[in-house]
Structure 1
Amino acid sequence: MINRRQLLGAGAAGAALVSSQAWGKTTNMGLPEAAQMDSAATAITPRPSSGPDYNPVVTLNGWTLPYRMNNGVKEFHLVAEPVERELADGMIAHLWGYNGQSTGPTIEAVEGDRIRIYVTNKLPEATSVHWHGLILPSGMDGVVGLSHPGIPPNKTFVYEFDLIKSGTFMYHPHADEMTQMAMGMMGMFVVHPKDPTFMPVDRDFLIMLNAFDIDPGTYVPRIMTMTDFNLWTWNSRIFPDIDPLVVNRGDRVRVRVGNLTMTNHPIHMHGYDFKVTCTDGGWVPESAQWPEVSIDIPVGAMRAYEFTADHLGDWAIHCHKSHHTMNAMGHDVPTFIGVNKTELTKKIRTFQPDYMPMGTAGMGDMGKMSMELPDNTIPMMNGWGKHGPIEMGGMFSVVKVREGIGADDYSDPGWYENPPGEQAYEWTGELPEFATNNSPKTILTPKPTSKG
């Protein structure tokens, strides 16, 4: 496990030979170190100490892959392998990923870099890596059978190309992708502009949207699922175990969101409007940037948006598909809203004393319940805030804007204390009479006028 403040750079002689089917000539220095991460904490990468300056991205509950310099080439080592990922406190999934985690580590480099990525396959079947959105030679594109042969188990292939454009991209297999992507094989690839004065920000967050279908009490995703996913995650983490986005008041903030699920996700952020500044096709010119408070992330796409953190507070950020902010969703649960279950409950408790009726007045009570669950699952709603249960889960987090946050400080500042007069409260006085218009002459919609 690498330290969260460790400079991600040094490598060591590797333990595997490069496959004879690898492309290009590499120097005989062995493989770069295959760094591993077994923590679900957000790891912060320091700014580079040499080369073009850039502000590294912050991958929520993730990390950035180390590299080494080899005769002017940045060398990375990805290992495709089975992993155990803590989706939430008390729930582990058996997935496939990279370097100990799913989603895989973020790859960061700079426009103009030449990069060499060693990919070692420790899966039980062949794999590949497609560099989604990057412009590169056809033979490096990662489509098995089209670009190159599949990477057999226990073999290492080399991908080598120049980064000719900056932006936010993704990586994933194009080999048995129905299985491999459903098992969690995906990651983000950020190419920073070579000009540090182009599109600078103070905080740069990165989120990969992914989803799984894992039955309560089980560990392995059901790979044949097409629509009925029950766990909606950011970087393979579920609220309330997704870290907050911590920013200092006045910071210029970028949020990059990639989507490799089977459906679109309208990401909504409270308290702010923002401008869409980048897609996986490239940067959006300032004259064409458009304002939003929600941005829909299509399947297989990335959107980045930016805002200035002017408004103090704790602001929700979430997918606006309501079931995507719920955990462990069941698709065969009947609706009991308005059903009086009093007598039925008495009868059930004669043989099941701990039975608790649910759903008579809606599902909000789920946020307060502490009912016994099967092993290796989580409640539908499990997040608590300063004022009680948040009644959210899944694709949800909080943007925490504060005064006095240090430039490299991303630690959770706790809950926001609303100033006097700035919090909604219960009214206990008399209600005013509401004005109504009962005039028969009232015209709500103007009638069309006839011509001639």
Structure 2
Amino acid sequence: MSKPVSRRGLLGVGGAGLALASASMVSGRVQAASLPEAPIKTDAAAAPPLHPNTGPDYQPVYTLNGWSLPWRMNGDWKEFHLIAEPVVRELAPGMRAHLWGYNGQSPGPTIEAVEGDKVRIFVTNKLPEGTAVHWHGQLLPNGMDGVAGLNQPAIPPGKTFVYEFILRKSGTFMYHPHSDEMVQMAMGMMGFFVVHPRDPAERRVDRDFVFLLNAFDIEAGSYVPKVNTMLDFNLWCFNSRVFPGIDPLVVRQGDKVRVRFGNLTMTNHPIHMHGYDFKVTGTDGGWVNPEAAWPEVSVDVAVGQMRAFEFVADVPGDWALHCHKSHHTMNAMGHDVRTYIGVNMKQTAKGIQRIAPGYMPMGGSGMGEMGSMEMPLPDNTLPMMTGYAQFGPVEMGGMFTTVKVRPGIASSDYTDPGWYKHPEGTVAYEWTGAPLPEPKRAPNTPRAGRGQSAELRAVDPRKRAPRSGGHGNH
């Protein structure tokens, strides 16, 4: 569980006032003194779900490696306070990134409220440039939509603006800047916004998980994302965390479970869950009518979209949940790494080692060997594949985690239960019986000889052999 959420006051919020025709600026000491506190959380451990202490009841969400933002009631307004600021985020043990986010983290805290609530959200800008917040998917007055220059002035550094609107429908939403968007979103500015149904019985589940899909391009040994990257990202994340640093989804056997996620990367992601089929029950446009919900084991989410799916956790185990784009389950992808599959690098490696002692050739028989190799890396760099489970290296990274279904877990317990203890006889095993016959092949099928494999040898192009006849170049 996480460390306690800290709170800190705001200083120096002053200046001339603006009319409340759109998102408005807080001005004057009296108004500043009435600001709600701004909770801050800087560690990457998930906080327990934040249960409501007033208003309609609901099942709060569990944000992977995140938390939900506390609020206060001021009359009939539910008030929240976001601080846009530089943050340091641990992507996984051994690597930290210098990002921009909200209230100490990237992504920022999840905002939870109830359909029909009147919400007032204070946004204080502690960035070095102007910003604004767009409430992605919400139905609200045009002047509260958060597009700097179009709907409101940008929030200047050091100032606080106020957004006020009524939550007109329940569902799954996001928040992110619409001001210098390329830079601010590439630096990690985003968060989840969940609106629960007014009726506590409507669409009730036992466990409700949320996370955002985001990505960074951070060179080996560095800390700050490259904001001009369009597609070649090298760190693919669930909530700014990469495997093995991503929380598992811990579930009690028999629970009805909802998983919500939103995509703020630059490409689509087919999210696949092992061991179950599920029903897609929500999109960024709202809930899917129960009779129209469709079964899947993978659900694609395009850029800027949100999806929710539900299932009953009736089969125990450690079930993988990941993006099905294979490069997105890798850390620190090196896009310029050459392919050496089938290449004998022994002689070439000796020459390289004379220049770079400690060089280790890899990839001649695939990349799986990297999952167990302990190679020196630059500081603040993750290996491409890392993370171990009970049977060895998982050979995954990036957008990968597990759904851990166990009997007997308390309804409020999200603690990692460890690895699943398989009943005897239920794990794939090595065949040790009689040798299997050679498989039959179609006539004229080219193949290597029995017990052999095709092999290429790396050749120094400066030492090419002469062509036959002795007339070639040396």
Which category describes the TM-score, using the shorter chain as reference length? over 0.9
1:161 is the counterpart of 2:158: no
1:50 is the counterpart of 2:47: no
- In the alignment, is the contact (CA less than 8 A) between 2:220 and 2:332 conserved in 1? yes
Deviations 1:310-329, CA, capped at 9 Å, x for gaps = 00100000000000000000
Counterpart pick for 1:87 among 86, 91, 96: 91
Structure 1 range deviating more: 348-357 or 130-139: 348-357
1:411 positional shift: 0.5
Length-normalised TM-score, structure 1: 0.92
Quote the Cα distance in structure 2 between the aligned partners of 1:18 and 1:428.
Answer: 79
Quote the Cα distance in structure 1 between the aligned partners of 2:395 and 2:406.
Answer: 24
1:271 positional shift: 0.2
Mapping 1:222-261, distance limit 5 Å: 222-261=226-265
For 1:449, the equivalent position in structure 2 comes to none
1:307 is the counterpart of 2:304: no
Mapping 1:317-328, distance limit 5 Å: 317-328=321-332
Q: Which amino acid in the other structure matches residue 146 of structure 1?
A: L
Counterpart pick for 1:213 among 214, 217, 221: 217
- Give the direction of change, closer, same or farther, for the CA distance of 1:365–1:114 in structure 2 (3 Å limit): same
- In the alignment, is the contact (CA less than 8 A) between 1:18 and 1:156 conserved in 2? no
Deviations 1:176-224, CA, capped at 9 Å, x for gaps = 1001000000001000001011000000000100000000111110000
Quote the Cα distance in structure 1 between the aligned partners of 2:245 and 2:438.
Answer: 44
Deviations 1:61-101, CA, capped at 9 Å, x for gaps = 00111111101111111111111111111111111100111
Runs of 4+ in 1 over 6 A off after TM superposition: 24-27, 434-438
Quote the Cα distance in structure 2 between the aligned partners of 1:19 and 1:389.
Answer: 59
- Give the direction of change, closer, same or farther, for the CA distance of 1:422–1:267 in structure 2 (3 Å limit): same
1:36 is the counterpart of 2:40: yes
For 2:67, the equivalent position in structure 1 comes to 63
1:349 positional shift: 2.5
Quote the Cα distance in structure 2 between the aligned partners of 1:299 and 1:18.
Answer: 38
- Give the direction of change, closer, same or farther, for the CA distance of 1:426–1:168 in structure 2 (3 Å limit): same
- In the alignment, is the contact (CA less than 8 A) between 2:172 and 2:195 conserved in 1? yes
For 2:383, the equivalent position in structure 1 comes to 379
- Give the direction of change, closer, same or farther, for the CA distance of 1:434–1:180 in structure 2 (3 Å limit): same
For 1:120, the equivalent position in structure 2 comes to 124
For 1:23, the equivalent position in structure 2 comes to 20
Deviations 1:15-54, CA, capped at 9 Å, x for gaps = 4348623627999551111110011001012422321000
SS of residue paired to 1:180: helix
1:175 positional shift: 0.5
Mapping 1:273-292, distance limit 5 Å: 273-292=277-296
Q: Which amino acid in the other structure matches residue 284 of structure 1?
A: V
Q: Which amino acid in the other structure matches residue 48 of structure 2?
A: I
Q: Which amino acid in the other structure matches residue 225 of structure 1?
A: T
For 2:351, the equivalent position in structure 1 comes to 347
- Give the direction of change, closer, same or farther, for the CA distance of 1:153–1:232 in structure 2 (3 Å limit): same
1:12 positional shift: 8.6
Length-normalised TM-score, structure 2: 0.88
Quote the Cα distance in structure 2 between the aligned partners of 1:435 and 1:371.
Answer: 39
1:434 positional shift: 8.7
For 1:367, the equivalent position in structure 2 comes to 371
Q: Which amino acid in the other structure matches residue 18 of structure 2?
A: Q
Quote the Cα distance in structure 2 between the aligned partners of 1:435 and 1:388.
Answer: 30
For 1:398, the equivalent position in structure 2 comes to 402
Quote the Cα distance in structure 2 between the aligned partners of 1:374 and 1:139.
Answer: 47
Counterpart pick for 1:103 among 95, 107, 125: 107
| Structure 2 gap segments, 5+ residues each | 443-474
1:354 positional shift: 1.5
For 1:182, the equivalent position in structure 2 comes to 186
Counterpart pick for 1:195 among 181, 195, 199: 199
For the pair shown, the structure with the greater C-alpha radius of gyration is 2
For 1:141, the equivalent position in structure 2 comes to 145
- In the alignment, is the contact (CA less than 8 A) between 1:21 and 1:157 conserved in 2? no
Quote the Cα distance in structure 2 between the aligned partners of 1:410 and 1:121.
Answer: 34
- In the alignment, is the contact (CA less than 8 A) between 1:18 and 1:157 conserved in 2? no
SS of residue paired to 1:223: coil
Q: Which amino acid in the other structure matches residue 125 of structure 2?
A: N
- Give the direction of change, closer, same or farther, for the CA distance of 1:310–1:100 in structure 2 (3 Å limit): same
Q: Which amino acid in the other structure matches residue 55 of structure 1?
A: Q
Q: Which amino acid in the other structure matches residue 222 of structure 1?
A: K
Quote the Cα distance in structure 2 between the aligned partners of 1:99 and 1:303.
Answer: 25
Quote the Cα distance in structure 2 between the aligned partners of 1:256 and 1:22.
Answer: 37
Q: Which amino acid in the other structure matches residue 369 of structure 1?
A: M
Question: How many matched pairs?
Answer: 435
Quote the Cα distance in structure 2 between the aligned partners of 1:2 and 1:389.
Answer: 27
Quote the Cα distance in structure 1 between the aligned partners of 2:200 and 2:393.
Answer: 43
Quote the Cα distance in structure 2 between the aligned partners of 1:154 and 1:12.
Answer: 15
1:264 is the counterpart of 2:268: yes
